Amino acid sequence: MWPDPRVVKFVTDNFIPARVHVKDDSALFQRFGEKYGAQWTPTILELDSSGTERHRIEGFLPNDDFLSQLMLGRAHIAFAEGKWDEAEQRFREIVEKFPDTDAAPEALYWAGVSPYKATHDNASLKATATAFRERYQGTPWAKKASVWG
Amino acid sequence: MPINFRHDVDAVLAEATQQHKPVLLDFSAAPM
């Protein structure tokens, strides 16, 4: 996961990266493990600037899945900050670049929600429901979007 | 070039607030 140059660039560009090792940083691992409820390795948390957890990745993932999950977490941070345009752009980038990953249907869902949050125009929700009828059927996100149209 | 992970997590969290930048926190058991 970590040696992938795309992952290195994304992490470097978007985060202050920190690591606690179960053996080499045992006291820190215990303290922050308790604080954030991390009970397994690898567990990767994406925290907003106030230290609030916005996304969690537990267990190994292949590179595309891992990078798309990192991007999903970063998009959720933008969403939580009310940066609707940035959040939509980040969510759509996941769908475009990694359409076959588990992150993609979740990203498609939130890409529809983001403009609605900005405008309260439900056109984006209806368009998202339509998009889900063409792809990602059978996912929980398609079920959740089905109520929109 | 590898990711320059820091281990001073308290300082990282403080800097994140000051710089308004997100944090990636990796709980790891990988060989270092």
Q: How far, in Å, CA of A59 to CA of B28, rounded?
A: 10
Percent over 70 (pLDDT), chain A: 99
Confidence of residue B19 (pLDDT cuts 50, 70, 90): very high
Tell me: domain A5-148, CATH 3.40.50.2000, correct? no
Full-model pTM: 0.96
| pLDDT, chain A, mean | 97
ipTM for the predicted complex: 0.96
Q: What is the C-alpha radius of gyration for chain A, rounded to an integer number of angstroms?
A: 17
In chain A, how long is the greatest CA-to-CA distance?
A: 52
Q: How far, in Å, CA of A3 to CA of A46, rounded?
A: 18
Which chain A residue's Cα is nearest to B16? A49
Residues in A touching B9 (Cβ below 8 Å): 18, 20, 28, 32
| The pLDDT of residue A115 is above 90 | yes
Cα angle value A47/A53/A58 (rounded, 5°)? 95
| The pLDDT of residue A2 is above 80 | no
Please give the average per-residue pLDDT across A38-52, as a whole number: 97
| The pLDDT of residue A3 is above 90 | no
Cα angle value A126/A128/A130 (rounded, 5°)? 75
